[in-house]
Amino acid sequence: MTAYIIRRLLMLPILLLGVSILIFGMMSLLTPYERVSLYAAEIPRRAGAIDELIEKYGLNDPIFFNTGKMWEEKNPLALFESQYFRWLGKVLRGDLGFSKVGKRPVSEALRYYFPTTAELALWCIVPLVVVGIWLGIQSAVHHNTLIDHVTRVFSIIGWSFPTFVLGLLALMLFYAKLEWFPPSRLSDWANQVVLSPEFTRYTSMNTLDALLNGRLDIFWDAIRHLVLPVITLSYLSWALILRVTRSSMLEVLRQDYVTTARAKGLDEKVVINKHARPNAMIPVATVGGIMLLNLASGVVITETVFNYRGMGWFIAHSALHLDVISVMGFALFNGVLIVLGNLAVDILYAFLDPRVRLR
């Protein structure tokens, strides 16, 4: 187990370096005049100011390696005096540029909006994992019965529904008509309380902070605003998790060791829970891990439909306002998050299937 984890950890820096090269490669497609906003929050309004900034930050230098300067100065270290390594040094210091939409540095904007999206993702985990996997197992165990047919129809409808359509239908029914679950994050009165000095912001997650402050009224109001986006995301995610779990479970139930376990007279619950289910979870872990990473990195359509101002909402507005620096900063953050998430899934494989540790 230890050797397996060490091998995966040794691959991590290489993957992160590859992500940074890919992101900077996309940024280098912009002209120096477009990329100067990465280095300057405000550009002085005078003639030649942009050219001075381009010269100051070396935006006309070679992109990845400065071979010319290395041979000219006979200095091997001059090879790395290029735009990429200068940018990488700023990134490692947490400097991702300035966000015009967020009106703050990109790193601060990501820290500001991430807890909002993380709160939404955390509330989606329980229905996504528990209900989706449970329904998939039940569908496979009761193959070609009424339960199987109902869950298959349920998953096909969910997988076919566009996110924005389901979100708009939910808003029209539960907000416009029934007035049960409003959009946004909080009601006006609750938002005023949260922003007041008497309310301490521990995590920037409304539900958790409300409990830590002993404000059950704020907690309930935050839950009311979370219901519709959580249902929208969960239902669409259930469909995929259910289908993957069902297919994997059906394949495992046909294996010889499951037949042998049944022939030994083991109880059916033991066969399902201890022999079949653990071996069927590897594909589910792969798909589930990717889905949870997508939730954590920002669900653009859902947050936009429900005016839920998290990272997805922030990036959508950044793209609409051509705030390239914010979009690239988010892409880098998302890439790092996916690499780390895949590492966690690889480690999870080793716990689900001991054979993986020998690879």
Of the residues 32, 64, 93, the one at which a domain ends: 93
Same domain, 86 and 216: no
Share of the chain above pLDDT 90, in %: 1
Of the residues 64, 93, 122, the one at which a domain ends: 93
The answer to whether 121 touches 129, Cβ cutoff 8 Å, is: no
- 152 found inside a domain: yes
Same domain, 245 and 299: yes
Q: Count of domains in the chain?
A: 2
| Helix, strand, or coil (residue 161) | coil
* pLDDT category of residue 41 using cuts at 50, 70 and 90: low
- 174 found inside a domain: yes
Q: Pick the range with the lowest mean pLDDT from 43-52, 134-143, 319-328.
A: 43-52
Same domain, 168 and 212: yes
Q: Is the pLDDT assigned to residue 89 strictly greater than 70?
A: yes
Same domain, 179 and 315: yes
Beta bridge partners of 197: none
Same domain, 119 and 34: no
- pLDDT value of residue 220: 92
- 186 found inside a domain: yes
The answer to whether 92 touches 289, Cβ cutoff 8 Å, is: no
Same domain, 269 and 161: yes
Beta bridge partners of 218: none
- 100 found inside a domain: no
Q: What is this structure's pTM? A: 0.78
Same domain, 193 and 270: yes
- 99 found inside a domain: no
Q: Residue 99 is inside which H or E element, if any?
A: strand 98-99
Model confidence over 105-129: pLDDT tens digits?
888 888 888 888 888 888 888 777 7
What range defines the domain where residue 77 resides?
2-93
Same domain, 288 and 156: yes
Model confidence over 273-300: pLDDT tens digits?
777 777 787 778 777 777 777 776 667 8
Same domain, 204 and 352: yes
pLDDT averaged over the chain? 80
- Any idea what the CATH number is for the domain that residue 351 is in? 1.10.3720.10
- 103 found inside a domain: no
Same domain, 157 and 265: yes
C-alpha to C-alpha distance for 161 and 158, rounded to whole angstroms: 5
* pLDDT category of residue 45 using cuts at 50, 70 and 90: low
Same domain, 257 and 141: yes
Same domain, 178 and 86: no
C-alpha to C-alpha distance for 132 and 134, rounded to whole angstroms: 6
- 101 found inside a domain: no
The answer to whether 185 touches 206, Cβ cutoff 8 Å, is: yes
Q: Is the pLDDT assigned to residue 149 strictly greater than 70?
A: yes
Mean pLDDT (whole number) for 200-209 = 87
Q: Is the pLDDT assigned to residue 31 strictly greater than 80?
A: no
